[in-house]
Chains A and B, each alone.
Chain A
Amino acid sequence: MHAPAPTAAPKISARHVSVHYGRKQAIDDVSIDVDMENVTAFIGPSGCGKSTFLRTLNRMNDTIPTARVAGDIRLDGEDIYAADMDVVQLRARVGMVFQKPNPFPKSIYENVAYGPRIHGLAANKAELDHIVERSLTRAGLWGEVKDRLSDSGTALSGGQQQRLCIARAIAVDPEVILMDEPCSALDPIATAKIEELVHELRGKYAIVIVTHNMQQAARVSQRTAFFHLGTLVEYGVTSQIFTNPRQERTKDYITGRYG
C-alpha cells in the first residue's frame, strides 16, 4: 500500500512486519526501507509502536518474553530472523541508543571499551585506547572527558551521558545506529549537541531516530515515517511529509490536531 521511500540499495528492508505482545497487536503490517545516505525519523503519537518497530531491527524484542515478531526483515539482504542468524553479531552491526541515557556504572573508558572487549575487536591495550579515543571523538565527547577517562560514566551530565552511550555504540563499528527518543530526557542545549552529532554521523552509519518532537524530525532527518495505532501511515522525504503530506491523518498530526 505505502511504497517504501525510494532509495538506492536499502540497508535495511522490512516487509509486512507485525508485532504482538501476547494477544495485543502493537505493529500491523509495516513495510519500510532504510538506507545508508539518509537519516530516517519515526514520528507518531506516543504508544503508536515506534519503539516496538525500532526494536525489531536489532531483535531487542527477543528480550521481552511475550513479544512475537512476524514478517521479513533484511539487513543487506540477509534475513535477520533466520534460524542461523547470530544475534550477537547482529547487535554488533546494528547499535542502539536508548531514551534514557544508560551508561554502565563503570569508568568512561570502560563504558566505551565494553563492546570492543566482548567482541574481541582490539588485540592489545594500544588498539583499545585508539578505539576508545576515536569513538569518543566521533561522539563529540573526547575534548570534555579526555582528562578523566577513569571517572565514572554515571557522574557525567545527562547530555554527556547520552553522547557516551553513542560513543559506546560506535565503538564496535556498527553499520546501523538506532536511536529511541535520544533527547527526550535532555535539556535544549544538550539536545542541540546530539542533533549536531546526528548530522555529523550521517553517511557513516545508517541512522534511524525515533522522536516525538516534529521540529527535531524536520531538523535532523531526510526521510520521515509517520506511525499511527501500530500502522505505518506515510513514509517519504521529510520535507514533503512536513509541507505536503499525502494522508489526511499525517496532516492532522503535523498540524497538531492530535498528539
Chain B
Amino acid sequence: MSGSALFFLVLGLALIGWLTARARAVRLGGATRLHSLPGQHGWYVAMWVAIPAFVFLAAWGWISPQLVREGVLASPQAASLPAFAFERSAILAEARAIARNPDLGAFNPQAEVLAPIYRTYLTRYAWIGTGIALILALAGGLYAFSRIAAPFRARGHVERGVMLILLVASLIAILTTLGIFGSLLVESARFFSIVPVADFLLGTHWSPQGVGVAHPGRDLGAVPLFWGTFFIGAVIAMAVAIPFGLMSAVYLTQYAAPAVRRWVKPMLEILAGVPTVVYGYFAALTVGPAIRQFAVALGMPYASSESALAAGLVMGVMIIPFVSSMADDALAAVPAAMRDGSLAMGATKSETIARVLMPAALPGVVAGILLAVSRAIGETMIVVMAASGAATISLNPFDSATTVTKQIVDLLTGEAAFDSPKTLAAFALGLTLFVITFLLNIVALRVVKKYREAYE
C-alpha cells in the first residue's frame, strides 16, 4: 500500500473513531451528566487512533530503508559488490531506483541483478509497516473507546494531546536547524583535519583551483573572502541601506500624511519581495558596467565590471526596506508622550526627531542594522551574479572582490570529489558564516529585548 493511501486510511479510521465515540458519549449523556462534551470524547478517540500510528510511521520511514538495505546485502547476490563504500552505495542506490521504477534502464549490470531482491524487501517491509500502523491505530482506538464514560475527563486529555502536537510542530524547525548545524560541523571537522584552523582563518591566499597536495592550507586562507564579504555586505551595502532606510522610516512615521503612508509603505514592502536574482542581474548587467565606465572616466583603465561597489550598492538597495521597516517599528514604539513632551517645549519636528525620538529608538535601530548586516553577508544571489571570483584584499571599491557565499557556490558547483579539501572548504566557510550570522542575530535580539523592557 502506498504511503499516501495509508495516511488517508488512518485519517479515515480517526474520523470513524471520532464519530462513534461522539455518538456513544451523546447516548451516555442522555442518562447522566457527562464530565466532558461529546465532541471532546470524539477527539480523544481520534487522537488515540491517529497519533500512535503516525508516530510509528514517521519512525518506520526512517528505519525501514536500513532494514531493506541489510536484507539486500545479506542476500547471496550482494556478495560480489565492490568493497569500496562509495561505489557500493552508488550501485545500491541504482538498484533501489530500478526496484521502484522498473522502466529505468540499468547503468551498472550489478544493479540490475539486485533490483528484484530490492523490490522483494521493499514490498515486504512496506506491508509490515502498514500492518503495524493499522494494528496501532485500531488498538489505540479501542483502548480510548473503552475509557469513554460519564465521569471520564476527556477534556484534559485532549488538551494535553493538542499541546503535544504543537510541541512537535515547534520542535521540527529547531531540530532541522540543529541537524544542519550538525552536518556542517561534521564536514568542517573533516576539513580541519586536513587544513589547520589557523591557515584557514588567518591565511591571506585563496586559490581553491590549485590547492597544493602537501600544504593545502597555503591555498585555502579565507581572509580575502572575509574581507570581501565585510566590505560588500557590511560597509558598502550599509552605507546605502542605513541612511536611506532611516530617512524613509523617519519620513513615513513622522512626516507622511496617512494617505501617503498607506501607499508608500506597501510599495517598500514589495521592494523587499523582489527575488534576489532580479537584483542580481540588475547588478551584473546594469550597475556593474556603469560603474566600470565611471571608474574608467576617473582614470582607472583596468577597472573591473565585477566591482565590490556594484554588488554592494545593489545589495544596499535591496536591504533598504528591511532597515526601514525595523526603524519604523522602533520609532513607532517610542511612546507618543515623548514626542508630545518635546513639541510642547517648543521643539520643532526635526529637533524632536533628532534629539528625542532617534535616541530613544536607537537600540531598536541598532538591532535592525545588525539584522540587516547579517542578511547582507548571507546574501548570495547578487554576489554570485555580480561579484568577482578573484579573491583580493583591497580598499578600493572599484576593485573586484569576492564573498564567502559566492565562493561556496563556486566550490560546490565545480566538479570535484566530495572529500577533497576544496569541496570540504565550502562547509568550513558555511560554518563560519553560520556562526557569524547566528551571533549577530543573538546580539540583535538581546538589544531589542532590553529596549522593550525600558518602556514597559
Contact = CB atoms under 8 A, between A and B. Distances in A.
Given A102-B338, A106-B359, A154-B454, A60 B344 contact: yes
A92 B360 CA distance: 23
Interface in B331-360: 335, 337-348, 351, 355-356, 359-360
Q: Is the interface of A mostly helix, strand, loop or mixed?
A: helix
B299 interface: no
A204 interface: no
Contacts of A118: 345-347, 351, 355
A74 to B, nearest CB: 19
A79 to B, nearest CB: 18
A14 B133 CA distance: 84
Contacts of B341: 98, 102-104, 165, 168
A4 interface: no
A88 B350 CA distance: 12
Contact of B348 (A60, A88, A95): A88
Interface string A165-179: 100110010000000
Contact of A169 (B343, B345, B355, B360): B345
B258 interface: yes
* Residue of B342, B343, B344 ringed by the most chain A CB atoms within 10 A: B344
Contacts of A221: none
A58 interface: yes
Contact of B344 (A58, A105, A106, A119): A58
A100 B344 contact: no
A142 interface: no
Interface string A78-116: 000000000111111001101010111110000000110
Given A88-B346, A88-B348, A91-B344, A98 B337 contact: yes
A256 interface: no
A63 interface: yes
Given A65-B258, A100-B337, A154-B454, A91 B360 contact: no
9 contacts: A60-B343, A63-B339, A104-B359, A105-B454, A114-B345, A114-B347, A115-B346, A118-B355, A169-B344
Given A60-B344, A114-B342, A115-B345, 17 more contacts: A60-B343, A63-B339, A63-B343, A87-B346, A88-B346, A90-B346, A91-B346, A96-B344, A103-B341, A104-B356, A104-B359, A105-B338, A106-B359, A114-B347, A118-B346, A118-B347, A118-B355
Interface of A: 58, 60, 63, 65, 87-92, 95-96, 98, 100, 102-106, 114-115, 118-119, 154, 165, 168-169, 172
Q: Which 8 A-B pairs have the closest CB atoms?
A: A91-B346, A102-B337, A96-B344, A92-B346, A102-B341, A115-B345, A88-B346, A105-B360
Interface of B: 257-258, 335, 337-348, 351, 355-356, 359-360, 454
